[in-house]
Amino acid sequence: MPEPIKVLVTGAAGQIAYSLLYSVAKGDVFGKDQPIILVLLDITPMMEVLKGVVMELQDCALPLVQEMIPTDKIEEAFKDIDAALLVGAMPRRDGMERKDLLAANVKIFQEQGKALDHYAKKTVKVVVVGNPANTNAFICSKFAPSIPKENFSALTRLDQNRAQAQIAGRLNVPNNAVKNCIIWGNHSSTQFPDVSHATVTKNGVVQPVAEAVKDDHWLNNEFIKTVQNRGAAVIKARKLSSAMSAAKAICDHMRDWWFGTHEGEWVSMAVPSDGSYEIEQDLMYSFPVNIKNGKYTIVQGLKIDDNAREKMNVTMKELKEEREMALAACQE
């Protein structure tokens, strides 16, 4: 058995964590042979609820969980961690945009950036989930200058999974028959879900999604809008934001970062831009990435037509605006 790794989940008493913790604890993310020390951070008023979550995790009798550390102390939570799943933040309600959460949430990520800088391993891998996820991840990285910026990411895998499922449903194929859907930009309603490089395997034949769907109008309109607004649609129906599907996407994101992507396949992650595809450097922008040996590289050379360029710029512009608002909020 390898040495245990220390995994932090914030917002551990919340609804995403309730689905996420079981999957992490049973080895879906870091492997079936990897012992884990689970660090569970929430705020002081949630400590009683968190106690109940810890009891339930104990009662799952899982072999990989070596220790659980429930805490409301940031210095204890971030000490020597190998991975950080930063979920804890206020969720939006019906009628709000995710960026409306900036004022409430950005300070959390400023504080946690500083804590990462002081207490975490320099190799820590960080995924920010709390909204607005891209901008919170940008701030988190900014306040953790001793940790390489490549170690920070934000979750857009839920959007990728939504896109994949919409295409699979439309073509009446299993979800895993659809590959290489891309989410460009912000985890918001300006994101650009792009299937122009995606493929589908149908009746044993691999073909471009656009050829299989044979309806460009649907792909350029209804499909994009459905994916962009899926989070809001779930809130409208459930009166709470996505949790089960968000937890699954967090697992997909960190598992692929830890173990790598399959040959010929890519996944979408919001990562600091290196200027690829003319996206302003350092913005936390979602790109297609390949992952090998724990390191991602942005997929290069994809053809971008005028229509795609326009959509990629719209979401970049929103990220720049959010960045200015976030930086101003951090000065207050």
Ligand X SMILES: O=C([O-])CC(=O)C(=O)O
Ligand Y SMILES: NC(=O)C1=CN([C@@H]2O[C@H](COP(=O)(O)OP(=O)(O)OC[C@H]3O[C@@H](n4cnc5c(N)ncnc54)[C@H](O)[C@@H]3O)[C@@H](O)[C@H]2O)C=CC1
Q: Which does 168 bind (CB under 5 to 8 A by kind): ligand X, ligand Y, none?
A: none
CA distances from 279 to 190, 283, 303 (A): 15, 8, 15
What does the chain come to in residues?
Answer: 332
CA distances from 159 to 154, 226, 329 (A): 12, 10, 27
Nearer to ligand X, 124 or 243 (CB): 243
* CA atoms of 330 and 224, how far apart (whole Å): 33
Confirm or reject binding of residue 187 to ligand Y (CB under 6 A): yes
Do residues 153 and 128 lie in contact, with contact meaning Cβ atoms separated by under 8 Å?
Answer: yes
Q: Using alpha carbons, select from 293, 39, 304, 267 the residue that is nearest to residue 153.
A: 267
Name which position in 21, 129, 198, 269 contacts ligand Y (CB under 6 A): 129
CA distances from 181 to 111, 166, 197, 227 (A): 34, 11, 7, 12
Binding map of ligand Y across residues 4-43, x = CB under 6 A, - = no contact = ------xx-xxxx------------------------xxx
Binding map of ligand X across residues 34-73, x = CB under 6 A, - = no contact = ----------------------------------------
Confirm or reject binding of residue 158 to ligand Y (CB under 6 A): yes
Token reading at 326: 């976030």
CA atoms within 13 A on the CB side of 255: 18
42 labelled ligand-binding = yes
* CA atoms of 46 and 222, how far apart (whole Å): 40
Q: How far is the CB of 207 from ligand X (least distance, A)?
A: 29
Q: Which does 68 bind (CB under 5 to 8 A by kind): ligand Y, ligand X, none?
A: none
* CA atoms of 190 and 312, how far apart (whole Å): 9
105 labelled ligand-binding = yes
Active-site annotation holds for 187: yes
Confirm or reject binding of residue 166 to ligand X (CB under 6 A): no
Q: Which residues pair with 127 in a beta bridge?
A: 85, 153
Confirm or reject binding of residue 89 to ligand Y (CB under 6 A): yes
Nearer to ligand Y, 11 or 200 (CB): 11
Active-site position among 118, 187, 197, 253: 187
Nearer to ligand Y, 15 or 166 (CB): 15
Stretch binding ligand Y (CB under 6 A), from 116-124, 128-136, 201-209, 252-260? 128-136
Binding map of ligand X across residues 239-258, x = CB under 6 A, - = no contact = --xx----------------
Confirm or reject binding of residue 131 to ligand X (CB under 6 A): yes
Name which position in 38, 46, 83, 279 contacts ligand Y (CB under 6 A): 46
130 labelled ligand-binding = yes
Alpha helices in the chain (DSSP H): 15-25, 47-59, 74-77, 102-119, 133-142, 157-171, 209-213, 216-220, 222-228, 230-238, 244-259, 306-331
* CA atoms of 248 and 44, how far apart (whole Å): 27
Q: Which residues pair with 182 in a beta bridge?
A: 194
Provide Rg for the chain, Cα atoms.
19
Residues found near ligand Y in the complex (CB under 6 A): 10-11, 13-16, 41-43, 46, 87-92, 108, 129-131, 133, 155, 158, 187, 241-243, 246
* Binding site residues, ligand X, CB under 6 A: 91-92, 98, 131, 158, 231-232, 234-235, 241-242
Among all residues, which ones are annotated catalytic?
187
Binding residues: 42, 92, 98, 105, 129-131, 162
